[in-house]
Structure 1
Amino acid sequence: MLRIISADKFIASRFILEYSKPEFASLLGVSVAKITNIENGKSAIPPVYDYAINYLLKEHPFTESAVSILSTHETLNFARRVNVNSKVKRLSCKRCDSRHLHVMAGENGLYFVECMNCKHTMYSSGTAVKRYQFWSHHGVHLDNHLFDS
């Protein structure tokens, strides 16, 4: 089990899981202010959040690389550079909400996305699909440009 005991690991895991502050707060059953306090290092991270994050990471489509990158010290540099208030868009199937997708780059910045679960096909040009494709080809790299809106 990965230990999420520092603000930088908490921030990095929220971004890897692709949750905005309000979404993450709702998921954990706390206020957005609580998430902000944790990310600013003003509050300790309760062990139950550590367990919840680890559970969510197990469901991540790139589990091994996500856990690997969260085990490094790279999260500290990432947390310093990233805008924690930026909107994080999560890529998932519009029909079944699965995150097991196959992404292929098309023409003119348009990406073809196929759900490996229900075989639904979609097209997208947003940052979420670019990030998903980058992660699927290179593993999870905590680089702040991947989260720019």
Structure 2
Amino acid sequence: MPAWNEARGLLPFVFTGSAAAKSGGLGMVFAPVDEATPARLFAIYGPVTELATSRVMQSRLGLVREVYVTGHAHQLRRLSERLTAAGLAGTLLAGRRSRTVAVASGLALAAGSALQRFSVFEAGVASAKDPKYVVVPQRERLDQRRAHQHES
């Protein structure tokens, strides 16, 4: 999948942050507020890692960036970012004082994590359906090799 291949250097960090956000969120849902400090730490550092790395990844992608910022993948990604940011905000603002806020924040983080993964999946599918994401980069690499050979 071209979208996954081009993002391979940063996707593990996006997924690790997403997994930490989800696990922290679920920990906040199921643990009593006064015993959920480890879960809250995951619910803080996970979303920060996920959101920041996702933005960096998006800025570094070439042509295949299109599949991440358009269509169904983009819609899922935007909703994921909103839920993740809301879950993070709730965790920071009142997650240690209010059971209701902790549960709502935890559920938002878990949902945001799932949507992040679905958005990456959808971007991969979209990139595989359009041959330009395979053909154009291949042509560019061939042109670079030819130019390099002519220099030699």
Q: TM-score, normalised by structure 2?
A: 0.29
Higher RCO, Cα 8 Å, sep 6+: 2
TM-score normalized by structure 1? 0.29
Relative to its length, the structure with more helix (as a share) is 2
Q: Which has the higher strand share?
A: 1
